[in-house]
Amino acid sequence: MKRILTAIAGVLALTAIALLSPAYAQSKGKIYYMVPTLLDEFQTESVSALTKFLADVGYEVVTLNADNKTDVQQSQMNDTITLKPAAIVLAAVDFNALQPSIEKARAAGIPVMQFDRQITATMSDFTSVAGTVEIGYVAAGEIQRLLKEKNGDVKGKVLQVLGDPADPYTLDIQKGFEEKMKEFAGVQIISLPAMAWEASNAGTIVSDQLVANPDIDLIFVHAAHLAVAAVASLEAKGKKPGDVMLVSSNGAPVGLDLIRKGWEQVEVEQPLYAQAAAIAMFADKVVNKQEIKPGTYTVLGLESTVTIEKWGPNIKIPGAAITKDNIDEPRFWGNLKAPTDKIMPVE
């Protein structure tokens, strides 16, 4: 009995320590950030960026992690609505399933801003995206260039390694990529998903395909952490940097390392810092329910366009292709040099 009580006391003490956090002085209120998962570097860094940038404009950020579970994120939204925060920033696990939660929050007078993942089926107060379909477009453009450089024409065999097939993010990239590649009949695309975005699954796909299709020219993986496993498989098959070209998306630090080592040719980055900065720049307008005017805005040096869509004000920030020529530019979040300049709200 004594042992059990000691164990319970220990667990409770640890829980209490974990829950204790310093009380921040509130100025303009709390904004809840619904992060879909903390198991990838983009999302982890988005927490840091949003916390820093929203603090610049006077808000305290509370982050809730949904562990990639739609039902968990729905519950978090319901709980948060009862707390009446100044606003909610949502990076939805599932674009469709969160629609009722967004409507419920807005009906309760809580503005909802979409971060990174665009929801077009319902109104939101602000959306900040790079555009996942557009990432596919950028990747397609770069892959066409690489194939032409290697084969003299846009032709060859491409292995496309998707993320989890239940994640709309990867499906959108695939859609954009295949749409732009459709016109090139000489390109054969083999598409396979890495279940749960798990790296060793991607490695397995690459290993198998290298044996079955030794003439693969290029591998396109939908996240940089999958590229690491792909490179490990290439290495295990005796390949050297450049033997099989590699393109990845999201711009994580691991992808940039692979470019520096020569294994990867292009990383299509999501402009994480600019996407987060845009949320902070427009936060006052959203919270105070002021009009957001369409037009061109400069977000961390990137020319970005605000349009008024049927789902609300939408800022689209251009993604960029990172190559060995521009890799060291600090604007790429994969270099993990978050801008130190204070973000200023849009007047």
- Which of 118-126, 140-148, 211-219, 320-328 is the region at the interface with another protein (rule: CB under 8 A)? 211-219
Q: Which is nearer to another protein, 108 or 336 (CB)?
A: 336
Q: Give the residue among 269, 280, 281, 255 at the shortest CA–CA distance from 321.
A: 269
Q: Could you tell me if 302 and 331 are in contact, meaning their C-beta atoms sit under 8 angstroms apart?
A: yes
> Least distance in Å: CB of 305 to another protein?
31
Stretch that binds another protein, among 55-63, 79-87, 169-177, 227-235 (CB under 8 A): 227-235
Query: What is the CA 189 to chain-centroid distance, rounded?
Result: 24
Contact 96, 284 (CB under 8 A): no
Given 209, 249, 304, 314, the residue binding another protein (CB under 8 A)? 209
Cβ 113 to another protein shortest distance, Å: 22
- Secondary structure of residue 153 in the 3-state scheme: coil
312 bridge partner residues: 309
CB-CB contact of 241 with 261 (8 Å): yes
Q: Which stretch binds another protein (CB under 8 A): 92-100, 137-145, 184-192, 324-332?
A: 184-192
Report the run of H or E that residue 218 belongs to, with start and end: strand 218-221
Does 212 interact with another protein (rule: CB under 8 A)? yes
Instruction: Please say which residue, 164 or 284, places its beta carbon nearer to another protein.
Output: 164
Torsions phi, psi of 117, nearest 5? -120, 115
Interaction between residue 187 and another protein (CB under 8 A): no
- At closest approach, how far in Å is the CB of 194 from another protein? 8
Smallest distance, another protein to C-beta of residue 206, A: 10
Alpha helices per DSSP H over the chain: 2-19, 41-56, 70-83, 99-107, 132-151, 168-181, 199-212, 224-236, 253-261, 272-287
Provide the mask over 74-113, with x wherever binding to another protein is found by CB under 8 A and - wherever it is not. ----------------------------------------
Contact track, another protein, 38-77, x by CB under 8 A: xxxx-xx---------------------------------
Of the candidates 66, 75, 32, 20, the residue with the CA atom closest to the CA atom of residue 283: 32
Site for another protein, rule CB under 8 A: 3-4, 7, 37-41, 43-44, 165, 190-193, 195-201, 203-205, 207-209, 211-213, 225, 228-229, 231-232, 235-236, 252-254, 257
